[in-house]
């Protein structure tokens, strides 16, 4: 269950040398068999019709997208990404069509001056067509028909905004704008994990103070499991130079959506719980 949005290239999660190769395992529910597939990719994504599988490879610090047919496990396509591109989130791709291969993908690019930006791209065949150019996209959603995509932009200290656009063309349209003042503390880049509900009508994110849910159509934000200081878990320490800082022990370490109205919350005691967003109090 994700608890952090950022995935650093070169970490144990995403880099693989000659002694440690990624493995893809296939579990068959009917037979209970677990089979290792002849693939060396990670963060695999199945197409809706089950005919293709898409995954990432990181060879010599350069990402590439690999696409395989699932009836033969033959690789049909390899798209090398620019060297300055890196992964933003484990939820990095959503299939639109399998033939030709079409998907929305989310990557971070670093320019020659060292500035980085997170954007969405439409993968169509071997082309990567920019869908956004603002560089502050934190998460995205694609409807089941593959017609519309939504994404959330966050500029720390200024705003959180949700946009949408048709994937076949058309201008982006803003569907929600939340000024920074009403946002829960720490809702910012690199410190917050954002995730749309399966129907795209809600956006949830996790901070040190709990999980917040935005009702996109109304602009209402509700927070559950807000962090409350407790002597047994929180403490204040000094850095030896007179500066003090608070160590927080948040009750939540991860979350995900079970369905459009229910969150799965993972607490730091190892417990999982289901919470309906319909009964949250403002």
Give the residue, 18 or 38, on which the prediction is more confident.
38
| Tokens coding 156 | 């720390």
The pLDDT, as a whole number, for residue 175 is 97
Q: Model pTM? A: 0.80
Q: Can you say whether residue 25 is alpha, beta or left, with left for phi > 0 and alpha for psi between -120 and 50 degrees? A: beta
Residue 9 domain-assigned (yes or no): yes
For residue 114, what pLDDT is reported? 67
Helix residue ranges, H only, 76-155 = none
Query: What are the tokens at 30?
Result: 């009917």
How far is it, in rounded angstroms, from Cα 267 to Cα 253? 6
End-to-end CA distance of the chain: 26
Contact 105, 128 (CB under 8 A): yes
Assess if residue 6 is contained within a domain. Answer: yes
| pLDDT confidence of residue 147 | 94
- For 50, the token pair is 């089950």
Residue 28's domain comprises: 1-105
- pLDDT (mean) for 216-221: 92
Q: With respect to residue 188, please indicate whether it lies within any of the assigned structural domains.
A: no
Domain assignment present for residue 56? The answer is: yes
In a domain, 157, yes or no: no
Rg (CA), the chain: 20
| pLDDT tens sequence across 119-164 | 999 999 889 999 999 999 999 999 999 999 999 998 878 899 999 9
CB of 174 closer than 8 Å to CB of 162: yes
Residue 142 is assigned to a structural domain of this protein:
no
Give me the number of domains the chain comprises. Answer: 1
Residue 51 falls inside a structural domain: yes
Question: Could you tell me which of 104, 112, 76, 66 has the C-alpha nearest to residue 88?
Answer: 104
The answer to whether position 274 is within a domain reads no
247, pLDDT greater than 50: no
């Amino acid at each position: 269950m994700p608890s952090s949005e950022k995935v650093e290239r070169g970490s144990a999660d995403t880099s693989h040398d000659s002694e440690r190769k990624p493995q893809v395992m296939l579990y068959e529910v009917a037979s209970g068999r677990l089979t290792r597939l002849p693939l060396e990719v990670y963060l695999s994504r199945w197409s809706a019709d089950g005919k293709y599988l898409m995954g990432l490879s990181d060879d010599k610090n350069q990402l590439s997208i690999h696409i395989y047919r699932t009836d033969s496990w033959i690789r049909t396509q390899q798209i090398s990404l620019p060297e300055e591109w890196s992964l933003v989130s484990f939820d990095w791709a959503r299939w639109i069509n399998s033939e030709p291969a079409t998907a929305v993908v989310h990557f971070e690019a670093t320019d020659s001056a060292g500035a980085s930006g997170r954007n969405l791209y439409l993968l169509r065949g071997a082309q990567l067509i920019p869908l956004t150019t603002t560089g502050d996209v934190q998460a995205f959603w694609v409807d089941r028909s593959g017609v519309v995509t939504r994404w959330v932009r966050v500029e720390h200290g200024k705003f959180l905004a949700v946009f949408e656009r048709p994937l076949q063309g058309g201008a982006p349209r803003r569907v929600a704008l939340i000024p920074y003042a009403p946002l829960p503390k720490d809702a910012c880049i690199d410190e917050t994990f954002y995730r749309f509900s399966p129907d795209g009508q809600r956006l949830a994110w996790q901070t040190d103070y709990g999980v917040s849910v935005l009702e996109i159509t109304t602009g209402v934000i509700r927070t559950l499991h807000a962090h409350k200081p407790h002597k047994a878990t929180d403490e204040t320490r000094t850095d030896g130079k007179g500066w003090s800082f608070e160590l927080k022990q948040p009750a939540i370490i991860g979350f995900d959506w079970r369905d459009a109205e229910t969150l799965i919350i993972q607490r730091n005691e190892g417990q999982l719980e289901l919470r309906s967003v319909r009964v949250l109090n403002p």
